[in-house]
Structure 1
Amino acid sequence: MGLHKLARELEETARQTAQMVEGITASLQTLGDQSLDCDSARSTAIRQIVMALQMQDRIEQRCADMARAARMMADHPEAASGSADEIWSSLTLDELRDDQLSGVAARARSGEIEFF
């Protein structure tokens, strides 16, 4: 179970990374859109870039948690089969701790921009 979950979470991280790049691409397209006035394009692009940066922060947290889980499984090979749930439940991000939340970013609506 432990390594299968790690594989699923790596796939989800790849999906989130692609989504982040799509956000950056959208901001570049917005800046290049000559049908928009400069102030509007700049304002929209800034929002898109900030959201993409927030996604990067989330991806970095996911990667750090998954690396920690992989190291714990490597240090305790028996955990890779039996007690891997304990390893996953000890992680920081709820979406990694709770299988029902895994991939929740794909279903969540974009909300207000929060500066970190």
Structure 2
Amino acid sequence: MPQFEYTIPTLIDLIGQRSWLIFHLLRCISREIEWMQFESSHWEKFEDYRFLRDIINGLEVVNDSAERGVKLITDFRNVVHDEEQQQFLVQFVENHRQQVSFNRRKQQLG
């Protein structure tokens, strides 16, 4: 059986040319970003890099869609007992929730 090595990526591994969104979202664009002009092995020397790293490391990561799916199934599992009907009901409720959410957002824009 083949052996696979798995290494957990660090923040340095995840930053590239398309990473500007995080700076806009965190309102850090006014901070110095000169550390991005250097080799990633030197980024730890820059206070602004460490500031952003600490913010990102402090974010709680959740699998929101999986949690919603489990909640949806547990909310409606006792309504019907046939497997096919359960699947249909879950799909129907999820579709309805997406429609309501879309319409609510659309009204807020108007």
- On whether the aligned pair clears a TM of 0.5, the verdict is no
Question: Highest relative contact order (Cα 8 Å, sep 6+), 1 or 2?
Answer: 1
* Structure (1 or 2) with the greater helix fraction: 1
Larger Rg: 2
TM-score of the pair, normalised by structure 2: 0.33
